[in-house]
Amino acid sequence: MSSSLFRRFTVGFAALAGLLAGIRAADAVTAPILVADVDSGKVIYAQAPTDPWYPASITKLMTTYVALDLVRQGKVSLDSMITISAAAAAEPPSKMGFKPGTQLTLDNALKIIMVKSANDIAYAIGENLGGSIDNFAALMNETAQRIGMRDSHWYNPNGLPDPRQWTSARDMAVLARALIRDFPDSHDLFSISAIQFGRAVMPNHNGLLGRYPGTDGMKTGFICAGGFNVVATATRNGRRIITIVMGQPSPRERDVKAADLFDYAFTQSAGWTSPTLDALPTSALPQPPDMRPFVCGGKKPPAIEDGPGALTAPGSAAQLIGGAAANSPALAMAAFSNPALRARSLPPRAPLQPVAVWIGRNPAEGQQILDAQEAQQKAAAANSRAAKLEAAKAKRLAALEAAKQAHAERAERAQAAKEAAKQAAKSAPKPAAKVAAKPAHALPRSASAYTAATTPSMPEAKPGKGLSKPAPKTVAHKPAPARKPADKKASAEE
């Protein structure tokens, strides 16, 4: 085997081994799932419930707890003004896009982060309530420990990627119970189907709201490293269930799996043998897995909201696995992975009921600010158009001037070339005149080529007699050789 062939074989084998290792790593990742009863805190079903996981925007539930806790302590109020800083405005989407200096009430800010999941607003809440993001993160960690969360580490209030920030399904269930228990007056904050800002209506990213009967909260989240997460609550016949699903490859699969878990949980009773959230064992994983290669890969990140879907395959998990199997969590989870369920989606969403939010202290002030901003935008747009027209006009004039200048330069070069040609013609030496060589005895112009070499002279007229006879016409013939005249008289007569 040649060295080049061996090298190609080695590289190909290494690539195949890496691919298989990646597949094994993907198969080894267990996405956290937890279903618990809200009132008792009993666990109905758990899968990797304490494994560390990147929370993404479900972080905003922690931010909301800290904010509501500060209101409860009297340090701030829901009417306190939140100012958007330049740093907050620079946060990446999802965001409201408010300009630095914009103000809004804490109440509106919390509604916006629960529905729109706006990163700029969550960042502004952290800055304004904590004095800085680091101080607010410290408040988040102190509060988390106080309410019984033990697997979470917080470094920012919006959940944007930070390798140091993670939580667990168990901790999020603890947080959800604490929000429901400690702030009953804020219950509606987690079930708003949409907000309306000006003329814009923004639906909640939670795909269970208005689709799964009884859903009344709470929050979704997504980053490539953590996949699609949801902390959801639903109530049926007076019983409230918390379902946490993490690390899903799409919002549709996340929502369908959560709905099936609710169906399963409402058929179960959390007996005295069921463990509590506090009794769940600590995970052995030192840090969260990175789901980016399996969720996003090299492609564009999936959309946060997959829109209203149609029910494409009927039946819930409990119906598919049958009544007897419904009592087995292992069989239930096997049914959740059934290919028949992978194509399912939830029914279309119920009509939205938007809740108005605004900037400023009240709707009237907010409308005035919006009107002023709209007038400024129109003026800026008009100025921009005028500037573009002026620039286009200047460009055309410059082009015309350049064309004229180019034409003048071409004419000048042509004239210069013409003058140079004339000058060259004058200075060039004249050619020698062709002079025809004349014979030694040139004939006159009127002479014939056959005229005799010696022309006899006219005889003298004799006195008393008329003119002499005309000389006979000369006939063209070859000249005879010259002869010597016999005598003088004969020569005269000829």
Helices (H), 286-362: 292-295, 317-325, 329-336, 339-342
438 is catalytic: no
Give the pLDDT score at 444. Answer: 58
pLDDT of residue 215 exceeding 90: yes
> Which residue among 42, 95, 111, 117 is the active-site one?
117
446 is catalytic: no
Give the pLDDT score at 271. Answer: 78
Chain centroid to CA 308: 24
Residue 17 host element (H or E)? helix 3-28
Q: Residue 320 to residues 100, 122, 338: CA-CA distances in angstroms? A: 53, 41, 10
Give the pLDDT score at 373. Answer: 86
Range with lowest mean pLDDT among 130-144, 214-228, 369-383, 450-464: 450-464
Amino acid identity at 238: G
Report field, pTM of the whole predicted structure over 0.75: no
pLDDT of residue 484 exceeding 80: no
Helices (H), 77-132: 86-89, 106-115, 119-130
pLDDT of residue 445 exceeding 90: no
Q: Who has greater pLDDT, 157 or 470?
A: 157
Q: What is the mean pLDDT of residues 89-97?
A: 96
pLDDT of residue 22 exceeding 70: no
Q: What is the mean pLDDT of residues 255-260?
A: 96
418 is catalytic: no
Give the pLDDT score at 23. Answer: 38
Q: What is the mean pLDDT of residues 156-169?
A: 97
Give the pLDDT score at 383. Answer: 94
Give the pLDDT score at 438. Answer: 53
> Which residue among 57, 168, 274, 316 is the active-site one?
57
pLDDT of residue 203 exceeding 70: yes
CA dihedral 389, 395, 397, 400 (to 10 degrees): -140
Chain centroid to CA 114: 26
Average pLDDT over the chain reads: 82
Q: What is the mean pLDDT of residues 66-91?
A: 98
Give the pLDDT score at 145. Answer: 98
Token code pair at residue 160: 């944007």
Percent pLDDT > 90 in the chain is: 64
pLDDT of residue 443 exceeding 70: no
**Helix pair angle (317-325, 251-265), 10° resolution:** 30
Residue 422's pLDDT band, with cuts at 50, 70 and 90, is confident
Q: What is the mean pLDDT of residues 127-137?
A: 98
Over residues 29-58, the pLDDT tens digits come to 899 999 999 999 999 999 999 999 999 999
Give the pLDDT score at 124. Answer: 98
Chain centroid to CA 258: 31
Residue 65's pLDDT band, with cuts at 50, 70 and 90, is very high
Range with lowest mean pLDDT among 333-337, 340-344, 446-450: 333-337
> Which residue among 42, 60, 95, 116 is the active-site one?
60
Give the pLDDT score at 490. Answer: 39
Over residues 286-306, the pLDDT tens digits come to 999 999 988 898 666 655 444
Q: What is the mean pLDDT of residues 408-435?
A: 82
Give the pLDDT score at 323. Answer: 33
